[in-house]
Amino acid sequence: GDSVTQMEGPVTLSEEAFLTINCTYTATGYPSLFWYVQYPGEGLQLLLKATKADDKGSNKGFEATYRKETTSFHLEKGSVQVSDSAVYFCALGNDYKLSFGAGTTVTVRA
Amino acid sequence: GAGVSQTPSNKVTEKGKYVELRCDPISGHTALYWYRQSLGQGPEFLIYFQGTGAADDSGLPNDRFFAVRPEGSVSTLKIQRTERGDSAVYLCASSSGQGRNEQFFGPGTRLTVL
């Protein structure tokens, strides 16, 4: 079945540091890939998505590229801010069903 | 506009009791989903409604779990004879149309079974 494996946390960074969170997947067919974010005390929000191979999703300075050859969708941000502290979830969507990774907690210190 | 809302936000119950969790989707969204998120894990799919009918309930863990959406809007997740292992955050999401449209999540209901 479909599954997502993402880098375990927690990750602690200083402000303006580079962030990478690795995500790989196993799936049948041609899934869409997503990154969701959960800020403290808030619900899950879609951060970015890519619907086919080689697509790049981007939002709020975050980027991720759908790599079919390596079955990966790594999240990157060049310069993080304290406000980026959150739990990040990689997810795979096959038709209507989302399969999530376990989440990576990121803390950015000033 | 209003997002997905869920009530209650927290529910504490005793082992063996019956609970109902409610989800109000975004107005006009025909698709509704329930997920369960255990501590330290990502959400896991439970059930998907398209309109009033459950199009896929393959994620429901056993027959103690049941969900309804009688008028194609509000949904209720029902858990009978609760067990301590049912403790988790139950998330509801909705989307327009069907298939690959973005799912918008509610804040969740934290269920604790003592």
B3-14 pLDDT, tens digit per residue, is: 999 999 999 999
Instruction: Give φ, ψ of A82 to 5 degrees.
Output: -55, -35
Q: B43-87 pLDDT, tens per residue?
A: 999 999 999 999 999 999 999 999 999 999 999 999 999 999 999
Q: Please, which pLDDT band fits residue B99 given cuts at 50, 70 and 90? A: low
The A-side interface with B (CB below 8 A) comprises 4, 32, 36, 42-46, 49, 51, 89, 91, 93, 95-103
What local confidence, expressed as pLDDT, does residue A42 receive?
A: 87
A103:B42 CB<8 A = yes
From first to last of the 110 residues of chain A, give the pLDDT tens digit: 899 999 888 999 999 999 999 999 999 888 999 999 999 888 899 999 999 999 999 999 999 999 999 999 999 999 999 999 999 999 999 888 899 999 999 999 99
Calculate the alpha carbon distances from B110 to B10, B12, B17 in Å: 5, 8, 16
Is some CB atom of chain A closer than 8 A to the CB atom of B57? no
Structure tokens at A91: 């997810």
Q: What is the pLDDT of residue A8?
A: 86
What is the residue type of A17? A
Return d(Cα B69, Cα B75) in angstroms, integer. Answer: 4
Determine whether the interchain pair B33/A100 forms a contact, defined as Cβ–Cβ distance below 8 Å. no
Is the CB of B35 less than 8 angstroms away from the CB of A45? Answer: no
